[in-house]
Structure 1
Amino acid sequence: MEFHLEDPFASFKEHQNCTVSLLFASESDHMPSPNSLTSTHSHLSLRCEAVSFILQVQFSCNLEPFVTYLAINYLHRFMSRQEIQQGKPWLLRLVAISCLSLASKMKNTPFSVSDIQEQGCVLEAQCVQKMEFLILGALNWRMRSITPFPFLHFFISLSEFIDQALKETLKERASEIIFNAQNEFKILEYKPSTIAACALMSASHELSPAQYSILRDSITSCEYIDEETLSKCFNLIQEMETKESMMDTTTSFLSTETPMSVLEINIKRQRI
């Protein structure tokens, strides 16, 4: 049964009547442990290295972004509950590969350890399977993660926009912003619903300024949203988008150089 990242309850008959309130009430169970957000620099460095590796695998194996988003969600949640020793890069890559393997299974996407042998990471399938069980246990088998994506539908519906094309455009741009945000560790402080709301607001601010105030008012009036937290998250996403725009400008400049230069800047973008 395929897992729907945009609608985590779609595959379950018993959840057909699931209310929006349950979605909001459950989202914290699919976030990293709050204590891990104040981790040491070395711990954050390990996370950064693991995320960078996952994104490089996505690039080399042409994986769909939803698979890597889910894998990174597993990675952050696992590493917030299980310490990984420094000086063991093979172990860090084993965790990252196992998260990718679990995510691909949830999304019913073909993926095998042999797909990444060219990355210089030779691991036996049995080792990956053992690590998968460790990850499953650490996450209490909560693998149908609640992400920002299902909240996009909810917040767009609150705005009561009539233009269907505008809705789809905002949703697509907001999804792109959410994917970009997975590289920013500060975003882990915010709930998926808050990230979704801010991504939509940022998309509207960029693509449809005339509708921005309408969308923001509808979101801030939602009983599940804290306006102060929303404002902080929105400012963070705006900072991220500014950095992204600067990187795009750099990439455009390098496009006049060699193809390898463009590849190198793309990999650097993924590591940020």
Structure 2
Amino acid sequence: MASGFDSASSTLLCTEDNSIFDDTWRPRNNERKHHFSNPYVLPLQSEECLALMLEKECQHWHGSHYLNRLRSGNLDIGLRIEAIHWIQEVRSHFGFGPLCAYLSINYLDRFLAAYELPKGRPWTMQLLAVACLSLAAKVDETNVPPALNLQVGKAKFVFEAKTIQRMEFLVLNTLKWRMQAITPFSFIDYFLCKINGGQSPLRSLILQSIQLITSTVKGIDFLEFKPSEIAAALAMYVAGETQKTVDSGKTFSVLIQYVEKERLLKCVEMIQVLATKDSSDSIQCLPENPLNGVLDALCNKSASPQNSPDAKRRKPNETS
């Protein structure tokens, strides 16, 4: 792990690798707003694609040591929570899809697992969040506003476009340019299809799964699990909730072909707690529909210090 942004070992794809957090640039405010919308559709995966994703998912995962650092206080959980709230706020503002927000947080966690932000500079986390969201939007969205314009909502600091670009280079380099990350979204449709006997799952199951996947990033508990494990647990949970007569034993036997039994059971229990907690907010109760119903939309798919000049703090009366 790099010891900090001033480390001589840090290599960026630009000549100003150590100037990202110095005192030579001045962020400015953003006054323009854009409203974009990108419908989110889950692609169905093939057996070969699934096997490849299971093999490579650890390359896109932060690892269990990252969770241990958060729990031990080595990393500031509060700053991470603020960054995630801001990402979700901006996602809603621009109408980005749920995968875009999830990718942003995936980049942020993987970066923090591999690189140490300077201590005592809370604005660095905000800059990281802006860069990660900008990169995720470029990967997942078709209509992407300039990175400068992403700085809306309740962000405490704003940054110049060139500063965001430098941070993007740092994130890209640290993540070894692996930006097409494997996430629970990559697996959920396949697992739902498998436990439904090869038939396309209900649209309601897909939508509930998407809601729950986005809810798993609110805290840190689900950082323990790989994307495939979260997806398998979600598939088992939503199928059982939607059709109470589902053969849980058969479902379980199907899923443990892909994930470890004990970890699947533990993750399912956590999903149950999460769904109960969120039921009054975002997870709506679904009617009981037959698990072997046709998914109308998808059935045709194939396969610094706070006064640092490095970051300008918004004034109380400033608006985005």
**Quick check: TM above 0.5?**
yes
Which residue in the other structure is 1:173 paired with? 208
Would you say the 8 A contact 1:174–1:202 is kept in 2?
Answer: no
The normalised TM-score by structure 2 is 0.67
Q: Aligned to 2:246, what secondary structure does the other structure show?
A: helix
Shift of 1:163: 6.1
Q: Which whole-Å CA distance do the structure 2 matches of 1:128 and 1:162 have between them?
A: 45
Percent identity between the two aligned chains = 31
Relative distance call for 1:18 and 1:218 in structure 2 (3 A) is closer
Larger-gyration structure (1/2): 2
How has the CA–CA distance of structure 1 residues 247 and 154 changed in structure 2, closer, same or farther, with 3 Å as cutoff?
closer
- The residue identity in structure 1 corresponding to 2:68 is T
- In 2 relative to 1, CA 38–162 (structure 1 residues): closer, same or farther, beyond 3 Å? closer
Deviation at 1:185, TM superposition (A): 1.1
Query: Is 1:147 matched up with 2:183?
Result: yes
How far apart are residue 154 of structure 1 and its match?
A: 2.2
Aligned residue number for residue 97 of structure 1: 130
Q: Are 1:61 and 1:116, in contact at CA under 8 Å, matched by a contact in 2?
A: no
Query: Larger helix proportion, structure 1 or 2?
Result: 1
Q: Secondary structure at the match of 1:211?
A: coil
Give the match for residue 240 of structure 1: 274
How far does the alpha carbon of each residue in 1:144-186 deviate from its partner, in whole angstroms, 9 at most, with x for none?
A: 000111212321232244764x433222211221111121311
Q: Which ranges of structure 2 fall in alignment gaps of 5 or more residues?
A: 1-37, 284-320
| Structure 2 partner of 1:13 | none
What is residue 261 of structure 1 aligned with on the other side? none
Change (3 A) 1:125 1:248: closer
Q: Distance in 2 between matches of 1:70 and 1:5?
A: 15
Q: Deviations over 1:194-225 (max 9, x none)?
A: 100111111112211212514333213x1x31
How far apart in 1 are the matches of 2:181 and 2:59?
9
Is 1:228 matched with 2:262?
yes
2:118 and 2:280 mapped to 1: Cα distance? 35
Residue 65 of structure 1: which of 85, 98, 108 is its match? Answer: 98
2:245 paired with 1:210: yes
Deviation for aligned residue 1:92: 1.1
Q: Which has the higher contact order (CA 8 A, sep 6+)?
A: 2
The residue number in structure 1 matching 2:223 is: 188
- 3-state DSSP class of the match of 1:225? coil
Superposed structure 1 runs of 4+ greater than 6 Å apart: none
Q: Secondary structure at the match of 1:126?
A: helix
Summarize the Cα distance change of 1:128–1:212 in structure 2 as closer, same or farther, 3 Å threshold: farther
Counterpart for residue 54 of structure 2: 24
User: Is the aligned partner of 1:219 residue 2:255?
Assistant: yes
Say if 1:248 and 1:54 are closer, same or farther in 2 by CA, change over 3 A.
closer
1:137 is aligned to 2:176: no
One-letter code of the match for 2:84?
Answer: V
Q: Distance in 2 between matches of 1:5 and 1:90?
A: 34
Partner-residue secondary structure (3-state), 1:80: helix
Residues 203 and 118 (structure 1 numbering): CA distance in 2 closer, same or farther, change over 3 Å? closer
Distance 1:160 1:30 in 2: 28
Between the aligned partners of 2:113 and 2:120, the Cα distance in structure 1 is 18
Residues of 1 paired with 2:132 and 2:106: CA distance?
Answer: 9
RMSD: 2.7
Q: How far apart, CA to CA, are the structure 2 residues paired with 1:158 and 1:64? A: 25
Conservation of the 8 A alpha-carbon contact between 2:130 and 2:150: no
